[in-house]
Amino acid sequence: MNSRQPIPVVVLAGFLGSGKTTVLNHLLAGRGGTRIGVVVNDFGSIEVDAMSVAGQVGDSMVSLGGGCLCCAVDGSELDAYLEKLSAPVHRIDVIVIEASGLAEPQEMIRMLMASENPAIRYGGMVQVVDAAEFDATRTRHPETDRHLAVADLVVLNKIDRVDAAERARIEQQLAVVCAPGTPVLATDHGRIDPELLFDRRPWTETRGQLSFEDLLAEADDHEHDHEHGHEHAHGRCDHAHAAYESTEFTSEQALSPRRFIDFLDRRPAGLYRIKGFVYFGVPGHEERYEVHAVGRFLRFAPRPWGRGEARVSQLVLIGSGTDGPGLLRELEACREAAPHEARPESMWGVLRYVARPAEPGSGVPATGSGET
């Protein structure tokens, strides 16, 4: 990642026992060459969760410890940790905050979006849910529904412990509780593809030299061999995560900002992530607009074009059960033959999702939540 670009900060939330640390460990083990900074927030004096991930992130891990992250006074403590991780010397690509099971996600989102640190940006909230304990969790923690309502992506974990009918019932409940269009990703043992949350760098210089990534991969293979040896008798099986489809779109023609926003507003729930950049070509807004969407969270970031760089739009859409050809047809319908004739107000829908600095002393972000 270009050090001049803000580092995305992803909030990983969920009540105690939902499987947040398992999900985090899986992201770390499958991160490839990506450098992940981790903020672990454990509730209680013995930081079991912090110790469980410390060996994978080393000096890039900090822990708030001893209490709820959202209780940090006006976010200054969290800001200090994020400032440390976002320092150029660490070359961090993405930061993941594993929130305490008793933390208030709304407060964490508020603090991140109000942060005056130009080196970071909010990257969305992932709520982990225990399928086997779904009803019991809602009974013990009535605030569950409120947390789910602000989630950008819901990970329905431990589906191996419920039957198909129970899974369908829970998914119906989530459709009612969550905001419209919130994707629900079903998984077991926290196995989600890191690409759904952040870009993975390829293993290049270190791969094949007994690197840290090699050791993690070896350990993962060994563990899977021990648990499922019969599956490996006929070759290695793909056990890391569920199958996702990737659809790529490129256009040398500018896209209509209004039609593109309409496409994003009606994107299917199975479309977990969108990344890339778009050229609108509207007078006064001819920059390259980077797009980042995780679940229903959406953010645009205008960047200058490189010298001699072609004005094109390039997008990658990652999901499960999506209609790739259908998505491409919809994107092709967004093409605009005469962008120079468009009025500046046609960009208003896009500009709603462009992050702006918080007003000094306001404690609130100058833009909306980034949710569609």
* pLDDT value, residue 68: 64
The 8-class DSSP code of residue 149 comes to H
* pLDDT less than 70: residues of the chain: 1-4, 41-51, 54-56, 58, 65-76, 102, 202-242, 356-372
Helix (H, G, I), strand (E, B) or coil at 96: strand
What's the confidence (pLDDT) of residue 67?
60
State the pLDDT at residue 237. 32
Residue 269: what pLDDT?
84
The CA distances from residue 307 to 72, 82, 302, 311, 368, in Å, are 44, 33, 16, 11, 33
Q: What pLDDT does 114 receive?
A: 84
Q: Which residues contact 43 (CB under 8 A, 6 or more apart)?
A: 16, 67, 68, 100, 101, 102, 103
Spatial CB neighbours of 328, under 8 Å, sequence gap ≥ 6: 247, 249
What is the total residue count of the chain?
Answer: 372
Strand partners, 186: 156
- Residue 265: CB atoms within 10 Å: 12
Cα(213)–Cα(217) distance, rounded to whole angstroms?
Answer: 6
Give the pLDDT score at 363: 34
In the prediction, which pLDDT does 44 show? 52
Nearest alpha carbon to residue 134 among 15, 24, 241, 11 = 15
Quick one: pLDDT at residue 359? 37
